[in-house]
Structure 1
Amino acid sequence: MVIMLRDEHCPPHTHVDAGAWSARFKFSFWHNGVELWDVVPHSRRPPAAVLEGLRHALRQPAHLRRARSIWWGKLQTACLDNQLWDWQANEVVVMQRRETLTYMIGSACYEPKENKTRLALIGAPEGVEIAL
């Protein structure tokens, strides 16, 4: 698998260029999931099995770790700053839920050698270390 960057932007993602179509897959610095973001042009979208095979390949630990390392090395962002971290559920949340303890992520740092993300949470007694 070849991982290349262009003029990238958040969220973290990879590009697959197949000539007749291209696809983007999102990945994260706080969990090991990978999801299909989009395919263009939609009229030339490949079969679902092809896209699922690509998603599965990127989810392989070595490929995902490499994608994160390349993204971090070039952009120096995990795209988590100013998002909400739910302390109890151990996850990034879009909206603060009632009766949950959430903190704003002040900064996130990925450590490629350890394959860990460290979150500095605003107002929290301590940060969060996520082993990926």
Structure 2
Amino acid sequence: MKVCTHRGLLVAVLTRNEHCPPHVHVGTNAWNARFEFSFWHNGVRLWDVMPIEEAPSAVLLEELRQVIKQAENLRHARELWWLSRQTLCLDNLRWDTFAHEVARQKGARPGTVRILSARFDEAQNMTILHLADKNLPLEIKL
């Protein structure tokens, strides 16, 4: 499903056999790049390029990252991912209540709470986390 285009390249969320983490694809017959995005922050990062021998220039990859990161494109990517996958890839991870982010290290540790479930509210452009041991959900405005 089309997110946007840049220099004639289609940026899309694929709907068949996709997997976590949330990401978009862009490429040509010679190469394919994946860019990872999140439902709890507005960063976008280059995940990989295959085959690496045919990779486009670093300049083009950075241009693509910046285009995907634009608020309207990132919101659209999130909407399409949620529509097709019905997951934010956050369930059973841990939320760091001090840093206000998904904990990077696996396993329980002080200040982290398990994410029981997560959903995306497209109308509000918001992620809603249901955390263990918390009565009210955590709302993250994106």
TM tier, smaller: over 0.9
RMSD: 1.7
Whether contact under 8 Å (1:77, 1:109) holds in the other structure is: yes
Work out the CA distance in 1 between the residues paired with 2:60 and 2:140: 31
1:82 to 81, 92, 105: 92
Local SS of the residue matching 2:29? coil
Q: What's 1:48 paired with?
A: 58
**1:113 Cα shift?**
1.0
**1:23 Cα shift?**
0.2
Amino acid corresponding to residue 23 of structure 1 in structure 2: A
- Seen in structure 2, the aligned counterparts of structure 1 residues 41 and 125 have a Cα distance that, compared at 3 Å, is same
Q: Render the CA deviation track for 1:36-86: whole Å, top value 9, x for unaligned.
A: 000000101111111000000000000000000000011110000010101
- Seen in structure 2, the aligned counterparts of structure 1 residues 96 and 42 have a Cα distance that, compared at 3 Å, is closer
Q: What's 2:132 paired with?
A: 122
Q: What's 1:11 paired with?
A: 21
Percent identical: 48
Amino acid corresponding to residue 102 of structure 1 in structure 2: T
- Seen in structure 2, the aligned counterparts of structure 1 residues 99 and 4 have a Cα distance that, compared at 3 Å, is closer
2:112 to 99, 102, 109: 102
* 2:46 is equivalent to residue 36 of structure 1: yes
Q: How many equivalent pairs are there?
A: 132
* 2:73 is equivalent to residue 63 of structure 1: yes
